[in-house]
Structure 1
Amino acid sequence: MKKTVTVIILIAIVLFFGVAMYWLWAKNAEDPIVYETEMPSKQTIVKKTVATGSIVPKEEVLIKPNISGIIDEIFVEAGDVIQRGDLIAKVKVVPNVSSLTSAKNSINSASTQVETARLAFESQKSIYNRQKDLFEKGVISANEFDQAQLSYDQAQQRYNQEKVNLSGARQNYDIVKTGTTSGLGASANTEIRATVSGMVLDVPVKTGNQVIEANNFNDGTTIATLADVDKMIFEGKVDESEVGKITENLPLEITVGAIENKNFDAILDYIAPKGVSENGAIQFEIKGTLNKKDTTFIRAGLSANASIILAKADSVTAIKEALVQYDPKTLKPYVEVATGDQVFERRDVELGISDGIHVQVISGLSETDKIKIWNQLKAPPQFGGR
């Protein structure tokens, strides 16, 4: 029994020794790791974040009527460039029965007042002429004559005022009935004119549509939308995780999807003080004024992306960010620099801005240093020993 156990132990030792020798042989048979190196280079590094949005006019003006009615004629269409005061449309007034009746009653009342004032004036005129004759003959005193003259002047003034009121009542009747009257000319309510110069972006109404005047109770019907297309802005939103990195007056690079191979410069001039929840994330509105240096026409409403340049370094010494290692204790960055054939030493470095691919090296390296690619990928094994 003891002899059998001894034999088994000896066989196990031999097998273990054989496996160990095979492992050592296989380990020595592997090719040694040869680390490649890279040298620093000159790079222009731009650190930026991207906001999505669209191109819109800086100011849009909505043209609304001053009187309710039906569109009789439209003189412009979207895309037309017009000047302030140009005629946009005409409105045909549909009289309101109640307002029309009230206007007629005002005319009748004013006519009665005119006739009453005329009779009073004629009476005072007769009294005045009679008193004048008596005064010239010395029958009445100057005080009595002055009183008669005052009454005559007051009656004449009232008569003239009542005639003005009658004229106003008739004009008001014409306005209620037709929307215009004699003497208004270009200021007639039925003529809708441009209040600013610019391009017509939209004409949402058609001939025959009913429109409502703008007043204290409603905004009124929009006849046309005008804007100066030479003054465009980028309007977009950034996530709450990015808003803390940006400030006003930062440069923007605008890319419009519909205009290929062309970027536009802009300046960030507005960041919303309050965020809005959208799809579970807080978004902040931003605006940037475009600085157009050419005649490229940008249509309002085009989708665009804005690259907000947070920092930029031109022609600086840089290395790939993948070459940088960090001390596990101090978390300070360092690289390994070749001092001989496959011999490397640690070199602490001071880093600047990064774009995610390259990082600026402020100090610690020269342009001739060879940096170890410590995380290089091994080539996949080939079949057949090749």
Structure 2
Amino acid sequence: MKRTSTVILLIVIVGAFATALIYLWQKNQEDPVVYQTETPSKQTIVVQTMATGSIVPKEEILIKPNISGVVEEVFIEAGEFVERGDLIAKIRVIPNVSSLTSAKNNIASNRTAFETAEINFKTQKSIYDRQKALFEKGVISANDFDQVNNSYLQAKQQVERARIDLQQARQNYDIIKTGTTSGLGNIAQTQVRATVAGMVLDVPIKEGNQVIEANNFNEGTSIASLADIKKMIFEGKVDESEVGKIKEGLPLLITVGAIENIKFDAILDYIAPKGIAENGAIQFAIKGSIKNLESTFIRAGLSANASIILDRVEDALAIREALVQYDRKTNKPFVEVAVGDQEFERRDVELGISNGIYVEVKKGITESDDIKVWNQIKGPGSFAGRN
């Protein structure tokens, strides 16, 4: 029994030894691991975030009538250029019966007041003429004549005031009835004119359409919209996760989908202080003024993308970010630099900005160093692949 146990133990030992020899022999037959290297390069690294939006005029002016009525004639079309004061449309007034009756009654009231004032003036003038003759003969005193003269002057002022009121009442009646009156000339309310120079973007009305005047209670009907197409801006939105990275004054690079191979420079000049919930996310509106549009025509409303340049460095010594390792204890970055054939040493590095692919290296390596690539490959004679 004891001999049997000894034999079994010896067999187990011999088997384990044989297995170890076989394993070591197989390991020796494997090709050695070979690490590739990369050298640093000069890169322009740009850190940016994207915003989607559209191109719109910086100032779009809506032209609205000063009187309600029906469009009698339109003198412009979208796409035309107009100067300030150019005639845009003409309105035919349809008078309001109530307003017209009130204006007519106002004329009658002012005519009565004028006639009364005129009678009083004639009476005061007769008294004045008589008293003046007596004063010149020395019959009445200067004090008595002064009182008569004051009454005469007051009556004269009253009749002039009544004449003006009557004239204004008649003009008001004419404006309510026809939209214009004598003396208005080119400023007649039936004539809608451009208030600024620019391109006509839209003419939403046609001949025969009814329009409402702009007043304190109604914004009025838009006759046309005008804008200076050389002053365009980008209007877009950024996500709440990105809004903390941007600030006014950052450069933008605008790409318009309808205009190929051209990018426009802009400056971020507005970030909304309040976000708006859209599709479950908070979006913040931004605006950027586009520069140098003299040679390119951009139509208002075109969709566009804006690259907001957060940081930028030219001719930076850079490596792929995948080559950087981090110390498990200190969390400081380092790379491994080749010092011989498949021999590497650790180099601590100081990193700059990164665009997610390349990272700037400020200190620790030179442009001639070979940096270890962690995607190892097997040696010659076997299948090459990545671990």
Normalised by the length of structure 2, the TM-score is 0.90
CA deviations 1:350-380 (Å, max 9, x no partner) are 111111111111111111111111124779x
Structure 2 counterpart of 1:335: 335
Deviates more, 1:313-322 or 1:19-28: 19-28
Distance apart, 1:17 and its partner CA: 6.5
Match of 2:357 in 1: 357
Which position in structure 2 is the counterpart of 1:116? 116
Which residue number corresponds to residue 185 of structure 2? Answer: 185
After superposition, give the CA deviation of every residue in 1:312-365 in whole Å (9 maximum; x if it has no partner): 111121111111111122221111111111111111111111111111111111
Task: State the match for 1:58 in structure 2.
Answer: 58
Deviations 1:22-70 (A, max 9, x none): 5444433332221111111111111111111111111111111111111
Secondary structure in 2 matching 1:311: strand
Answer whether contact 2:200 2:224 (CA < 8 A) is retained: yes
Paired residue type of 2:174: D
Secondary structure, counterpart of 1:102 in structure 2 = helix
What are the superposed Cα offsets for residues 232-287 of structure 1, whole Å, 9 maximum, x if unpaired?
A: 11111111111111122111111111111111111111222222222221212211
Cα deviation for residue 192 of structure 1 reads 1.0
**Residue 205 of structure 2 corresponds to which residue in structure 1?**
205
Query: Any idea what the Cα deviations from partners look like across 1:77-109, whole Å, max 9, x if unmatched?
Result: 211111111111111111000000011111111
Shift in CA distance, 95/153, structure 1 to aligned 2, threshold 3 Å: same
Describe the shift of the 1:377–1:104 C-alpha distance in structure 2 as closer, same or farther (beyond 3 A).
Answer: farther
CA apart distance, 1:118: 2.6
Q: Distance in 2 between matches of 1:298 and 1:156?
A: 65
Structure 1, residues 158-211: CA drift from partner, whole Å, max 9, x if none? 223222222111111000001100100111111111111111111111111111
2: CA distance, partners of 1:73 / 1:294:
33
Quick check: 1:237 aligned with 2:237?
yes
Which range moved further: 285-294 or 261-270?
Answer: 285-294
The answer on 1:277 being equivalent to 2:282 is no
Give the Cα separation in 1 of the matches to 2:251 and 2:121: 78
Structure 2 gap ranges (5+): none
Determine the C-alpha separation between the residues in 1 that align with 2:94 and 2:189: 13
Q: Distance in 2 between matches of 1:177 and 1:27?
A: 108
**Distance in 2, Cα, partners of 1:293 & 1:176:** 46
On the 8 A contact 2:84/2:195 being kept in 1, the answer is: yes
**Contact 2:35 2:377 (8 Å CA) reproduced:** no
The 5-angstrom pairing of residues 63-82 of structure 1 reads 63-82=63-82
Tell me the SS of whatever aligns to 2:77. Answer: coil
Alignment pair present for 1:86 and 2:98: no
Q: Give the match for residue 174 of structure 2.
A: 174
What's the CA shift for 1:154? 2.8
* Aligned twin of 2:155: 155
- Which residue does 2:252 correspond to in 1? 252
CA contact (8 A) 2:230 2:294 kept: no
1:190 maps to amino acid: T
- Alpha carbons of structure 1 residues 119 and 337: separation in structure 2 relative to 1, 3 Å: same
TM-score of the aligned structures, taking structure 1 as reference length? 0.90
In the aligned structure 2, how far is the partner of 1:377 from the partner of 1:295? 54
Number of residue pairs aligned between Structure 1 and Structure 2? 382
Counterpart residue number, 1:315: 315
Secondary structure class of the residue paired with 1:151:
helix
Change over 3 Å in CA distance of 1:12–1:294 after alignment to 2: farther
Task: Summarize the Cα distance change of 1:188–1:294 in structure 2 as closer, same or farther, 3 Å threshold.
Answer: closer
Counterpart residue number, 1:265: 265
Structure 2 match to 1:304: 304
- CA offsets, 1:198-235, max 9 Å, x none? 11111111111111111111211111111111111111
Aligned to 1:375: 375
Classify the secondary structure of the residue corresponding to 1:72. Answer: strand
Deviation at 1:9, TM superposition (A): 8.2
Partners of 1:117 and 1:378 lie apart in 2 by 117
* 1-structure distance, mates of 2:124, 2:77: 62
Q: How far, CA to CA, are the matches of 1:377 and 1:185 in structure 2?
A: 90
CA distance in 2, matches of 1:194, 1:108: 37
**SS of residue in 2 equivalent to 1:259:** coil
Alpha-carbon separation, structure 2, partners of 1:82 and 1:207: 20
Question: Aligned in 2, Cα 1:168/1:13: closer, same or farther, shift over 3 Å?
Answer: same
Alpha-carbon separation, structure 1, partners of 2:233 and 2:12: 82
* Alignment RMSD (CA, Å): 2.6
Q: Report the 3-state secondary structure (helix = DSSP H, G, I; strand = E; otherwise coil) of the residue aligned with 2:34.
A: coil
Q: What is the distance in 1 between the residues matched to 2:215 and 2:225?
A: 18
Give 2:238's aligned amino acid.
V
For residues 178 and 207 of structure 1, the distance between their equivalents in structure 2, rounded to whole angstroms, comes to 18
Cα distance change, pair 98–272 in 1 and its aligned pair in 2 (3 A): same
Match of 1:195 in 2: 195
Specify whether residues 157 and 33 from structure 1 end up closer, same or farther in structure 2 by C-alpha distance, changes over 3 A only: same
